[in-house]
Amino acid sequence: MTDTDTETPADAAEQSPTVRVLSCGGTIASEPSDTGAAPAKSGSDLVAAVPELAEYADVSAVEVASHPGFDMQFSAVAGVVEAIREGIEAGVDGFVVTHGTDTLADTAYALWLTLDPDRLGDRPVVVTGAQRRFDEPSSDAPANLTTAVRAATGEAVASGVFVAFDDELHAARDVVKTHTNKLDTFQSPGTGPVASFTRADVRVHRRPPSTATGSSVEAGSLPASALSADAEVAVVHSGLGVGAGGMDRALEAGVDGIVVEGTGLGNVTGALGDAIRDAVESVPVVVVSRCHAGPTEPVYGTPGGAVTLRDHGVLFGGDLPTAKARVKLCLALSAGADEETLADLFE
């Protein structure tokens, strides 16, 4: 490099941050066909479709997978983690993961659990998608991708895993899909978004879980090798008139763990409670609530009450929704977690 080519501090300050888009398919990448919509666009196609992204960052793209959201696998999430590691080595400043909305919150949470916060450093990982394809009227794809890139530059948060959707940024741990087709489908019940974006500004509402007391213990708590996910975890629901059949069938299928979606504070019917008593002798059982917000809490002592379930030896999922409790248990078991480790991972 000659003296005339030497980069000055002022030149460096003017350089755009680098953001890498890791595409996984989903509606945002889909195109219509005679047999129904399916992922067809690459990550580079998505970036090229929104030239305004260049106003915020130097954006590159890598295609990790091309699946609809409802058919994502842990192996694809492992591919995302590997692509992030490669990006870190290349000096990328932030990452955007484009993904189908059906399991978008699951993947975001799996990344939150398995990405090493120390290795990630001050690099946001932002997962996004779309409810409407690029070719559909009033598509939300360009706006969501733009918000995600802005968030990945560190405009709102310095590090962690998030979901960007409908001009809002949500913590991966808290966010869930709440509606089948509304554009504001991603919400964080009980906590709300981390930040909101306008055309020219961003408003930060709260500290993300990566820095908040309590939930920070989850970030990077499981190794990326857990994404081999060879453990099988069943979900059993409680509700009006539910008996022991679901639990019995899960055990007969030879599952490695069971998540029970209870009612209220984490209670189940008496019949299901008796089945759980027997099940915990052979597999770990995690109890969560079907309510949209609030933690599980042992209060009732009848056969299916959470106090009785606690005495049987179940684990409680706190305020985790059913799908995320299943992801966590599946990854923990795949990582070889023992009884003590599982107790530490769940409340």
- The CATH number given to whatever domain includes residue 246 is 3.40.50.40
Question: In the numeric block, which tokens belong to residue 197?
Answer: 């974006």
Question: In the numeric block, which tokens belong to residue 303?
Answer: 């056969």
Q: Phi/psi class of residue 190: alpha, beta or left (left: φ > 0; alpha: ψ in -120 to 50)? A: left
- Which amino acid is it at 38? A
Q: Of the candidates 202, 250, 245, which has an alpha carbon nearest to the alpha carbon of residue 56?
A: 202
**Is the domain of 22 the same as that of 120?**
yes
> Do you know the residue count of the chain?
347
pLDDT of 9 higher than 70 = no
What local confidence, expressed as pLDDT, does residue 13 receive? 47
Prediction pTM value: 0.93
**How far is it, in rounded angstroms, from Cα 209 to Cα 203?**
17
**Is the domain of 277 the same as that of 186?**
no
> What pLDDT digit, counting tens, does each position of 319-347 carry?
999 999 999 999 999 999 999 999 999 97
What local confidence, expressed as pLDDT, does residue 4 receive? 39
**Is the domain of 193 the same as that of 279?**
no
Question: In the numeric block, which tokens belong to residue 117?
Answer: 């916060």
**Is the domain of 210 the same as that of 266?**
no
**Is the domain of 67 the same as that of 154?**
yes
How far is residue 281 from each of residues 233, 276, 329, measured CA to CA in Å? 16, 9, 17
Q: Kindly state whether residue 32 falls inside one of the protein's structural domains.
A: yes
The mean pLDDT of the chain is 93
**Is the domain of 335 the same as that of 239?**
yes
**Is the domain of 269 the same as that of 139?**
no
pLDDT of 1 higher than 70 = no
The radius of gyration of the chain from alpha carbons, rounded to an integer in Å, stands at 21
Question: In the numeric block, which tokens belong to residue 92?
Answer: 């990328």
- Boundary-marking domain end, from 170, 191, 218: 218
pLDDT of 60 higher than 70 = yes
Range(s) of the domain holding residue 313: 230-345
Catalytic residue among 27, 101, 153, 322: 101
> What pLDDT digit, counting tens, does each position of 247-265 carry?
999 999 999 999 999 999 9
**How far is it, in rounded angstroms, from Cα 170 to Cα 178?**
13
**Is the domain of 120 the same as that of 243?**
no
Give mean pLDDT, residues 105-133. 96
Query: In this predicted structure, which of 204-208, 250-254, 267-271, 326-330 has the lowest mean pLDDT?
Result: 204-208
**Is the domain of 261 the same as that of 305?**
yes
Question: In the numeric block, which tokens belong to residue 137?
Answer: 């009227």
Q: Kindly state whether residue 10 falls inside one of the protein's structural domains.
A: no
Give mean pLDDT, residues 183-194. 96
**How far is it, in rounded angstroms, from Cα 160 to Cα 112?**
7
**Is the domain of 138 the same as that of 235?**
no
Q: Token pair 């990006």 is at which residue? A: 87
What confidence category does residue 214 fall into, taking pLDDT thresholds of 50, 70 and 90? Answer: very low
Q: What is the CATH number of the domain that holds 169?
A: 3.40.50.1170
**Is the domain of 107 the same as that of 163?**
yes
Active site includes 101?
yes
